[in-house]
Structure 1
Amino acid sequence: METSTAKYPWLKFYPKGIPYEINPDAYPSLVELMEEGFRNFSGKAAYSCMGKEMTYGELDTMTRNFAAYLQSDLGLQKGDRIAIQMPNLLQYPVALFGALRAGLTVVNTNPLYTPREMQHQFRDSGAKAIVILANFAVNLEKVLPQTDIKHIIVTQIGDLLGFPKKQIVNAVVKYVKKMVPAYSLPTAVSFGDALNRGSRSEYRKPTLSGHDLAFIQYTGGTTGVSKGAMLNHRNMIANLEGQNEWMKPGMSTDGQDVIVAALPLYHVYALTCNAMAALKTGAMNLLITNPRDLNAFIDDLKKYKVTMFTGLNTLYNGLLNHPRIGEVDWSRLKITSAGGMALQTAVAERWKAMTGNVPAEGYGLSETSPVLSSNPVDGTARIGTIGVPWPSTELKIMQEDGTEAPQGAPGEIWARGPQVFTGYYNRPDETAKVMEGEWFKTGDVGVMDEDGFFRIVDRKKDMILVSGFNVYPNEIEEVLAKCPGVLEVACIGVPDDKSTEAVKVFIVKKDEALTAESVKAYCAENLTNYKRPRHIEFRTELPKTNVGKILRRALKEEEMARKAR
C-alpha cells in the first residue's frame, strides 16, 4: 500500500509506532499461531466462566485431545466442516481451537436459530459433524435427516466447571430450570467422552496453508438469506496481526489483560477480537454466557478489574442504565471497543463519563474477518466516527456512477485488504455482486472527512426516500437517543402516498412520562421537516439479534404484515 498522505490522509493520524502495513503471512496457518500462544502463556489464565478459570496450558491439552478425537475416532479429514452451536462457555474455545488444530473448517452457528435456520446453514455448509449444547439438541433432532451431519457431540453447560460444580449446574439446568427439552440422538457422544477418547488417540498436525478455509461465517441475514462468507487462515491472520499492532497503545503494562467477552464467540467480532486475538497477547477472556441477565453480568464484572471491553451500542446502553453499574471498578479499563452497529454519541459520552475511557468505535463485516477500520485506542478516538483504516487496509467512497466521491460526500464504502473474504460459499452469483476486482462493496453508505476519518451514514438498503430526499435511519436514531426519556429507538421507512415514504420510529421508554407530543417537539428542534418522524410507536422492547443488534428488518416486516391485513 502506498504511504502517501495525499492519497491516504488518515495515515498522519496513525498512533505513534503503529505500522502502515502488516504481514498476513506471518504464520503458515492459525495452527502455528495457536501453538505459539499456548507455549508462550502456558501458565496464564486463558478463559474464565462461571467462576472457573482455564489456563493456556490446559487449553493446549484439551484442544489437542479434541483434535485427536476428531481425526482418529471420527475419521474427519482436512477441510471437512464442523458446526459449533453453543453460547459462551469454556467448551467453545476447546471445540473451536481443537477443530482448527485438526485442519477442519469451522461453521459457527447461532444457538437461538430456529430448526429452519439450522437446516439451511447445515445443508448449505455441508457440515459433517456438530458440537451442540444439550439445550438446543431437540432442534437438531428435527432437522438431522435433512443434513449431512454424521457425528454429534453434545455438551451440557457445566461440563468443564469441575467437580462438584459440574454436577450441580447440570442438574439445576436440566431438572430445576427445565432448560433442556427431551431429545433423542442415539449416536451422540458426550463432550467429556470425546475428550477422554482423544487423550488416548494420536494427534497428527495437518499441513495447512494460508489459503485453506478456516471458517464459513454466516452473515446475519438482516438483508436477505444468510450466506456463508469463506474466511481462510490468511484472512484471519491478517486481521489478528492488525489488531495486535493497533491495540498496543492501550495494552496493560501492570499485569495480565482481562477482556470482557460478552458478545458470543460464534459472532465474527468476538471470534477475532476476543478468542483469536488473545492468543497473541496472553489476555484472559471473561466469558459472559448470558449478557441479557445484567445483574449476573455485573456480578461477573465485579470479580475482575477488566482492562478491555468489546461490545456494541445496545450492550453499553443497557449497562449504563442499570442501577447497579456503579458497583463496578473501572480503574484498569484501558480499551473500550465498539462495533457491530452504530455507537450513538449519547452512549459514548456517558460511557466516557462513567469509566474515564473513550470508546473506540470500529467497523467491519463478516466478509472482512471482520475489522476494516477503528479509532485509535490511545485516548484520541473521535466519537461519531469509525476511525481510520487498519494497517494494509484501504477504504474509498464510491458514487452510484462508479466514480470516487469527493471528501465529505456520501457514497458506498469499498474496501481492499488481506482480510477481505474469498467469496460466499457455493454462491458465485452473490460473490460477483459484491466484488469489483480486489475491492469489496460493503453495502454501507459512508463519508470520509478532510482528515481521512470515516463515518457510517447507513445501510444502503435502509435508506428512506422522503419526497426525493434521502433520510438515513442512523441519523434519526442518533438524535432521538439524546431525547430525554428515550432508552432505545429504531427508525424505518413506511409507505406514504404523498411522499413515497415516511419516517416511523419505535421507542422504548426510559421515563414513562414520555409522550409522542414531547418526541415530536424534540424532533422539531433538532431535525429538518422531512426528517421528522410522521409515526411514533412505543414498545416495551425492540427486536434484536442474539448479539443485541436492533433488527430494523423485523420491524419492516411487521409493518408490511399489518398493512396487508
Structure 2
Amino acid sequence: MNVVAKLGETAKSKPDRTAYIFGEKKETYGELQQKIDCFAGGLYELGVEKGDHVALLLGNTPHFVISFFGALKAGAVVIPINPSYTPTEIGYMLTNGDAKVIVADGRLLPLYEKMHELLPKVEHVVFCETEGQLHEPENLQIKAKLKSFTNLMKAVSRVSPELNEEDTAAILYTSGTTGKPKGAMLTHKNLFSNANDTAGYLTMNEADLVVAALPMFHVFCLTVCMNAPLMNGAAILIIPKFSPSAVFKLVKKHKATIFAGVPTMYNYLYQHEAADENGFASVRLCISGGAAMPVALLKNFEEKFNVLVLEGYGLSEASPVTCFNPFSTGRKPGSIGTNILNVKNKVVNELGEELPAGQVGELIVKGPNVMKGYYKMPEETAHTIKDGWLYTGDLAKRDEDGYFYIVDRKKDMIIVGGYNVYPREVEEVLYRHPEVAEAVVIGVPDPNTGEAVQCYIVPKTKTLTEEEIAMHCRQHLAKYKRPSSIIFLDEIPKNSTGKILRRALKDILANQS
C-alpha cells in the first residue's frame, strides 16, 4: 500500500466528502482524485517517466496537494522546496536533485528567468496561475519550457506505473544548519507507514478537520496535516501563511478539530491580542513538534485555551514521527513521549551501546519510516545509518517508564570549563520568568572556560533588565550554567517553519564585535 492508492480508496468510497477547504472553496475527495489523475496524465504527456524528479516550489495551496499526489501517481520522485529560499539555495536543490520538471507559483517566473541557464536538466516548468495571467518571457528557450498548470490539467488520465514500496517517493532537503542541505530519500513505504501510524495514533477520522498552517513543503505538515488526514477521510483546512489572527478566525469559522504547530507558533497564538479562551473551542487536540516546547509555555497554553497539547518528535530522515506522548493518559510534559507503533527509539553512547535510564546520549531510531539514505551522498548515509539505525544527532535521555526527553542538539551542547551545558535546560529556566516572551541560548568562545553561555531574550516589556534575568538565573542554575551575557532583541531569527536559527544569532554577535 502507498499514500496514492490509499487516497484513491478513500475517494472511491467517500467521493462526496470534503477533502480540503481553501479560502471560500471546498473540494470533495472525488473532485480531488479527478484532478490528481489529470495532473498525472499531464506529466505523462510532458514525457515524465517513472523515477524522474519533479520539484514543487509551492506554498500552501490546492496546487501543492494536486501536484504532490499527481506526481507520485505518475511514478515520479517529488522534491518539495521552500519557494522563499534564495536563488542560490533553490538552484542547489534543483541541480543536486536532478529535477526534470518544476511546478511553481506563477510569481516565481522572474526568478526562473534569471537562473534558467544554470538549470540545463530542467525540461519543463509548470507555472500555477495565482494572480492573473503570466507575462510572456522574451527568451524563446524559456518560453518553450513553460507550461500552464491549467492547461496541463486538461490532459486525459492514464494508467499509472506500478509503485513498489521501496521506490523513492520524495527527496526532502534538510535545513542545512551545518553545511550544504542533504536530500533525504523517503520511499513509498516510509511515507505510508508514518502517515498511517500517525493517523491511527491520533485517531483521525471523517469527523476531523486538520489545520494545515505549517508549510506543506515541510515534512511535519506533509505527513501530519496532509497525508495522514487525507488517507483516512478527514478534511484539511489549508491556511496559506501562518498568522495568529487567521488561525483563530478560520478555526472558529470552520470548527477545526486538530491543530499542529511548532513551539514558536504556539507562543505567538498564546500572546496574540485576539486570543481568548474560546479561540480553540472546537479543537480536540494540539500537536507540537519541530523543536522542544518550553514546559511553561505548554502549561500556559493549555490553561488558556482548555485544550490538550501533545509533544512528539521527528526528523525529515524518519518521515518524520518517531515518538509521541500518549493520547489518553500518562502524558509527561517536557518529554517527547514513547515509541509510536512499529518504531523503536533508544539512547546510546559513542560506541553505539544502549545507555541505562537517566543517562544522556545520542537518540537513534529504527523502523519502516527511516529513509533509504541521502541522495548522492553515500558517505553521509553510511555515517547516519548504521545497522539499520538512524543516528539523529540529538542528545536525549530515557526514564524508567520509557519516555524520552530531548536534551539538545549534539552540536549545540556548550562545554564550560569541562562541564556540559544543555541550552534547553537554561532556556526552560528563562521561560519561567514572567517577563520573557522568547529565549534562546548559544555557546560563545571564552578565554578562561573555553566556552561561555550567552542568552538572547525577547522581553514582554521594555522595563525588563539584565540584572533581573541574572538574579533569576542565580536562583535556578548552577554557576557554570548561568549566562555570562544577556542580549535583548525585538525578534529571534527563525526559518520558514518557525525553527530558531542559532547560526544567525552567532552572525549577529560577529557583526556586533
Alignment TM class, shorter chain as reference = over 0.9
| Within-5 A mapping of 1:127-142 | 127-142=99-114
Question: Is 1:274 matched up with 2:246?
Answer: no
- Match for residue 5 of structure 2? 32
1:429 matched residue in structure 2 = 379
Q: CA deviation at 1:478?
A: 1.5
Equivalent residues in 2 for 1:170-185, closer than 5 Å = 170=131, 185=142
Q: How far apart, in 1, do the equivalents of 2:112 and 2:362 lie?
A: 39
Cα offset, 1:403, TM superposition: 2.4
Matched, 1:192 2:192: no
Distance in 2 (alpha carbons) for counterparts of 1:56 and 1:183: 40
* Structure 1 segment 6-405 matched on structure 2, within 5 A: 27=1, 29-72=2-45, 74-147=46-119, 148-157=121-130, 170=131, 185-186=142-143, 187-196=145-154, 198=155, 201-248=156-203, 251=204, 256-291=207-242, 293-326=243-276, 328-378=278-328, 380-405=330-355
Q: CA deviation at 1:531?
A: 0.8
Q: Secondary structure at the match of 1:325?
A: coil
Q: CA offset at residue 83 of structure 1? A: 0.5
Secondary structure of 1:547's aligned partner: coil
Q: Which among 489, 496, 508 is matched to residue 546 of structure 1?
A: 496
Q: 1:181 to 1:66 in 2, by over 3 A?
A: closer
Contact 2:252 2:282 survives alignment (8 Å): no
What is the distance in 2 between the residues matched to 1:500 and 1:182?
56
Work out which of the residue numbers 446, 450, 456 in structure 2 matches 1:506: 456
Look up the SS of the partner of 2:210 in the other structure: strand
Aligned equivalents of 2:451, 2:503: Cα separation in 1: 16
CA contact (8 A) 1:114 1:139 kept: no
Gaps of 5+ in 1: 1-26, 158-169
- The amino acid of 2:151's aligned partner reads D
Residues 340-369 of structure 1, C-alpha deviation per residue, up to 9 Å, x if partnerless? 111111111012112322211000110000
Deviation, 1:87, is: 1.1
- Segment of structure 1 superposing worse, 483-492 or 374-383: 374-383
Work out whether 1:406 is the aligned partner of 2:356.
yes
Cα deviation 1:21-68 (Å, max 9, x = unaligned): xxxxxx1x3321121122233111111122211111110111111110
Secondary structure at the aligned position of 1:318 is classed as helix
Instruction: Tell me how far 1:327 sits from its aligned partner.
Output: 7.2
* C-alpha distance 358-302 of structure 1, shift in aligned 2 (>3 A): closer
Task: Pick which of 115-124 and 511-520 moved more.
Answer: 511-520
**d(CA) in 1 for partners of 2:272, 2:166:** 45
Tell me the CA shift for residue 474 of structure 1.
Answer: 1.2
| 1:143 Cα deviation after fit | 2.1
Equivalent pairs, count? 509
By how many angstroms is 1:182 displaced? 9.3
Report Cα offsets for 1:144-178 as digits up to 9, x if no partner.
Answer: 22121111111133xxxxxxxxxxxx35xx99xxx
Structure 2 counterpart of 1:53, one-letter code: K
Q: How many angstroms apart in 2 are the aligned matches of 1:520 and 1:533?
A: 8
Contact 1:125–1:228 (8 Å) recurs in 2: yes
- Equivalence for 2:418: 468
Q: So what's the TM-score if we normalise by structure 2?
A: 0.95
What stretches of structure 2 of length at least 5 have no aligned partner? Answer: none
Q: Give the Cα separation in 1 of the matches to 2:26 and 2:270.
A: 27
TM superposition shift of 1:476: 1.4
Question: Which one of 523, 535, 544 corresponds to residue 485 of structure 2?
Answer: 535
Q: Root-mean-square deviation (CA), in Å?
A: 1.9
CA offsets 1:295-335 (integer angstroms, 9 cap, x no match): 23322222121211111100011001001121754333222
Contact (CA 8 Å) 1:137, 1:183: kept in 2 or not? Answer: no
**Inter-CA distance 281–144: structure 2 relative to 1 (3 Å threshold):** same
Contact residue 248 and residue 279 of structure 2 kept, 8 A: no
- Contact 1:358 / 1:381 at 8 angstroms: preserved in 2? no
Secondary structure at the aligned position of 1:530 is classed as helix
Rate the CA distance shift 1:414–1:183 in 2: closer, same or farther, 3 A.
farther
Answer yes or no: is the 8 Å Cα contact 1:359–1:383 preserved in 2.
Answer: no
User: Matches of 2:271 and 2:358 in 1, distance apart?
Assistant: 35
How far is the alpha carbon of 1:406 from its aligned partner?
1.3
Please say if 1:495 is aligned against 2:445: yes
Deviations 1:61-82 (A, max 9, x none): 111111100012x010011000
Which residue identity lines up with residue 457 of structure 2 in the other structure? I
Aligned letter for 2:63? Answer: Q
Of residues 455, 472, 488 in structure 2, which corresponds to 1:522? 472
Mapped contact 1:370–1:419 kept (Cα < 8 A): yes
2: CA distance, partners of 1:368 / 1:228: 13
**How far off is 1:443 after superposition?**
0.2
Provide the C-alpha distance between the structure 1 equivalents of 2:464 and 2:444, rounded to a whole number of angstroms.
23
Q: What amino acid maps onto 1:125 in structure 2? A: G
Does the CA-based 8 Å contact 1:481-1:487 persist in structure 2?
yes
- Farther-moved stretch of structure 1 (331-340 vs 118-127): 331-340
Cα separation, 2, equivalents of 1:423 and 1:402: 19
Shift of 1:539: 1.0
Between the aligned residues of both structures, percent identity stands at 38
Q: 1:334 to 1:183 in 2, by over 3 A?
A: farther
Residue type of the alignment partner of 1:97: F
Q: What is the distance in 2 between the residues matched to 1:194 and 1:455?
A: 48
Three-state SS of the structure 2 residue aligned to 1:326 is coil
Show CA shifts across 1:367-396 (max 9, x none).
Answer: 000001101122542110000011111111
Q: Is the 8 A contact 2:37 2:157 kept in 1?
A: no
State the structure with bigger RCO (CA 8 A, min sep 6), 1 or 2: 1
Equivalent residues of 1:242, 1:391 under 8 A apart: yes
**Structure 1 residue 142 displacement after superposition:** 2.2
Look up the SS of the partner of 2:231 in the other structure.
Answer: helix
One-letter identity of the residue aligned with 1:67 = A
